[in-house]
Structure 1
Amino acid sequence: MLSFISVYLDDDMKTILKDKIISSGRWRCRWSWWWRWAVLIIGAVIGTQLAYGGGNAFTSKGEDVLVSRIAFGSCANQSAPQPIWNAIIKFDPQVFIWLGDNIYGDIRRPFKLLGKERTVGPWKNVPRFVPASQEELESRYNIIKKNPDYSRLRKTTKVIGTWDDHDYGLNDAGKEFPEKVRNQRLLLDFLDEPQDSPRRKQAGVYTSYTFGPVGKQIKIILLDTRYHRDPLNSDGSILGSTQWTWLKKELKGPASAITIIGSSIQVVSNLSATTGPLFSMESWGRFPKERDHLFNLIADSKRDAVFFISGDVHFGEITRYDCAVEYPLYDVTSSGLTQAVEKVVPPPLHFMVRFLAWLTPNTMRVMDRHCRHRSCTYGLPNFGTIEIDWNATPVALKIAIRDINGFPVTGVDMSLSELQAKTVNSDASIKVGEQRRHCSLEVNLPWIVRHRLVIFFYCCIAVLLLALVGLIIAVISLIRLGLCKYKLD
């Protein structure tokens, strides 16, 4: 033992150590110094682990740790600045959830109405989005993973997630996409999924986690809305039969205090029913049979405190549906970390985006006077948060969308007692012609209400055309007057 330690000591320390052994007894000193060095070595190892990510509370049996703070987000363009990570770190979540478009891995061609390759318009002859190579996808994932601020988050926070179309490999793609097997491996590598994980052997990236001690457990179910999804407008399947069987088992499994279902696309809101034919967005509402199946499955499970988190749409909002189960089903949409609708228009025109968001009919959106904007949507970079006060009686739950500085822009405070299947007896029936907030689906709104945005758009076009015609007539009249005066002169 003395020869081992002496490698690390100078001559003076060796002399002191030798004197100690002689004066105090060889065996007693040997064990004393062995204990001191063991403590120093263990301390150094622990310090190194904390410095390089070992401080994550969920290593080994850490899933029993009580979780009270969760953050989530979507739509992070790897090539764009990402200052929002600082606000997420300041929120100090124990779990962070990726909800898809974690990178933009497909290649977007520019808008072209004319020319050899036309990407938009009824005469387009080439797709606007094309898949990227494996090398390019890996490079884009590495850009995010090496981001200094995201690296800081990974050191102290459990990071989990699913995907959406752009990291799946192609805009709006479903089960027909040929590179989904390869890209599944790349996503799981990005999420540091263990090599022996079942997610690496199954078809799709769906999974579930349970955090916290018994009685205060949070179950997080992450769906895969890409791998098995039928074509849009087919009213086919989103999850596929295998994933539906798995989800039924998860929902009917052991009870948890809270169940969070993560979907890359919106579950409750179906804005496409009110924005078409101008533009459409993916959502469960475009697959009505699948959405009904999901709601019925939750109702049959008698599971308490189920709510959704989602992304995809490039703005943040909170919606709820009161006529599916015996308590309100909330959907907290956070999108995106870098991509947002107001970023694509000049700042002086942001008011127009907010006006159109307010004008668009939405029977499900939670409207509150505390929202930053009147529409209760937020079109700049944002992230979502969930806070649980387990010490409150009853347990208190706060869900919110936060801006780039971490300040709430819309949110809902409630108690878990409000989300109990046994305490609320909601009448889900609606009479023919009756409209009920948070209960009447967008597709069932009166025609003139549902297409209010379209009517406004075409009215604006008509006004502009009339103004243009009036301007042309005025110009022609002035020219004619000028010519007549010239002839008279």
Structure 2
Amino acid sequence: MRIAFTSCMSAYSFPDQPVWDQIAQAQCDELVLLGDSAYYDADGQSTAAIQAMDANTFALHAHERLYKQVSHPTFSALVKTPTLRTHAIWDDHDFLWNGSCGAQIEGQPQYSHLLPPTRAVFARYRKALAARFAPGSFPQVPPPWAADVPPPGYSNVPLAHDVLLHLTDGRSFKSTRGRKALMGSKQLDDFEAACASASSDTVHLLASGVVFEANSGETWLGCAKEHERLLALADKYRILMLSGDVHHNKITKYSTGRGRLLFEATASGAAICTLVTLGALQCNWGLLDIDAERITVQVFQKDPATLPQTIDRKTWRWVTQQAGA
């Protein structure tokens, strides 16, 4: 099984997106988009401008930004591949604005009217991806948005009998005040229940919009309770986090402190600059090759890819790589 993953693209500012041709050449079975499929609050729009919009104006704006990506020729061609399934989660820029926290916005009447349209537009985008952009699935002129669409929340997709993809929602329930939250307890309860009901040798791919740890920015470490809970779950289950957000690539591991490991592969910056519209243009994506014994992880940039790193599925440890392997 071959799985590509990436995040962070803006067809509005970056019509040249070679990343999709590169992924197409890899002939993957699955594509996981880890957030920021569009930038609502960039490319000529500010956070203040988004916050000042009424619900209908924002719905049109969000649809238009996603439509630019949906209609991008090479992205569209990739998603339409009959043998490829595409899965997407959202992050701050295709939710509302940079650093936006849904749990806090719920309590702010001046902004909470934007939550129903953003949920509706993103749900339409996900359905269009699942339909491989069938005609009319994401039209240029949007239909009226539904006001009762729930947040994406948590879901999972069996990729094989022993590989489970967990799609998370790191925006709708996020709070940086008071009782800090990233996913929220219900999503983590659902994730744990799915892990517990799977076979003991199952690999759990956890799709996250933000990285597990970093020196700055939004991370799981910003919510200590959930950070510790995920490490505790990694004591019991084989968890490999796929993450985005940071506009660079990384492959790493974290010790649970009790003899087990949590692995993370970050691929961020599919078609964006280091600082959105400033800095070096990125062309970043990642690749997993999974068989019965091993998971090989590789990340790619405009320059040659890093050497692949391999996880032994039985021991849940790195396999020593020879130079050039």
Q: Name the structure 2 match of 1:150.
A: 75
Q: Does 1:88 align with 2:88?
A: no
CA distance 1:296–1:181, change in 2 (3 Å)? farther
Structure 1 Cα separation of the partners of residues 38 and 97 of structure 2: 11
Structure 2 Cα separation of the partners of residues 91 and 264 of structure 1: 23
Alignment of 1:76-475 (within 5 A): 76-79=9-12, 80=14, 81-107=16-42, 127=48, 130=51, 133-156=58-81, 157-175=84-102, 176-177=104-105, 178=112, 179-192=114-127, 202-212=150-160, 214=161, 217-231=162-176, 234=178, 236-255=180-199, 257-267=202-212, 269-272=213-216, 281-299=217-235, 302-303=236-237, 305-324=238-257, 326-341=259-274, 380-390=282-292, 395-404=293-302, 407-409=304-306, 411-419=308-316
Residue deviations 1:56-100 (CA, integer Å, cap 9, x gap): xxxxxxxxxxxx100011001121121211001011111000100
CA distance 1:246–1:396, change in 2 (3 Å)? closer
User: What residue identity is the alignment partner of 1:289?
Assistant: K
Structure 1 Cα separation of the partners of residues 89 and 279 of structure 2: 32
User: Whose Rg is larger?
Assistant: 1
Q: Does 1:75 align with 2:11?
A: no
Q: Which has the higher strand share?
A: 2
* 5+ long unaligned stretches in structure 2: 106-111, 132-147, 318-325
Structure 2 Cα separation of the partners of residues 71 and 324 of structure 1: 30
Query: Is the contact between residue 50 and residue 58 of structure 2 (CA under 8 Å) also seen in structure 1?
Result: no
Q: Which piece of structure 1 moves more, 175-184 or 312-321?
A: 175-184
CA distance 1:325–1:139, change in 2 (3 Å)? farther
CA distance 1:343–1:186, change in 2 (3 Å)? closer
Residue deviations 1:384-432 (CA, integer Å, cap 9, x gap): 1101234xxxx12211111247x42354123212318xxxxxxxxxxxx
Give TM-score scaled by structure 1 length.
Answer: 0.53
Query: Is the contact between residue 235 and residue 286 of structure 1 (CA under 8 Å) also seen in structure 2?
Result: no
* 5+ long unaligned stretches in structure 1: 1-67, 111-118, 120-125, 273-280, 348-378, 421-489
Alignment of 1:25-44 (within 5 A): none
Count of equivalent residues: 283
Query: Is the contact between residue 297 and residue 309 of structure 2 (CA under 8 Å) also seen in structure 1?
Result: yes
- Cα deviation for residue 285 of structure 1 reads 1.0
The RMSD of aligned alpha carbons is 2.8
Structure 2 Cα separation of the partners of residues 285 and 74 of structure 1: 20
User: What residue identity is the alignment partner of 2:306?
Assistant: V
CA distance 1:330–1:414, change in 2 (3 Å)? same
Query: Is the contact between residue 123 and residue 152 of structure 2 (CA under 8 Å) also seen in structure 1?
Result: no
CA distance 1:265–1:410, change in 2 (3 Å)? farther
User: What residue identity is the alignment partner of 1:409?
Assistant: T
Structure 2 Cα separation of the partners of residues 415 and 204 of structure 1: 32
Structure 1 Cα separation of the partners of residues 241 and 277 of structure 2: 27
Structure 2 Cα separation of the partners of residues 411 and 344 of structure 1: 30
Answer 1 or 2: higher relative contact order, Cα 8 Å, separation at least 6: 2
Structure 2 Cα separation of the partners of residues 75 and 231 of structure 1: 23
Structure 2 Cα separation of the partners of residues 159 and 346 of structure 1: 29
Query: Is the contact between residue 315 and residue 340 of structure 1 (CA under 8 Å) also seen in structure 2?
Result: no
- Cα deviation for residue 240 of structure 1 reads 2.1
User: What residue identity is the alignment partner of 2:8?
Assistant: C
- Cα deviation for residue 127 of structure 1 reads 4.8
Query: Is the contact between residue 78 and residue 104 of structure 1 (CA under 8 Å) also seen in structure 2?
Result: no
- Cα deviation for residue 128 of structure 1 reads 8.4
Give TM-score scaled by structure 2 length.
Answer: 0.78
Q: Which has the higher helix share?
A: 1
Secondary structure of 2:21's counterpart equals: helix
Secondary structure of 2:315's counterpart equals: helix
User: What residue identity is the alignment partner of 2:298?
Assistant: A
- Cα deviation for residue 346 of structure 1 reads 6.4
Structure 2 Cα separation of the partners of residues 290 and 306 of structure 1: 15
User: What residue identity is the alignment partner of 2:218?
Assistant: E
Residue deviations 1:195-226 (CA, integer Å, cap 9, x gap): 9xxxx8643332110022x4xx2100011111
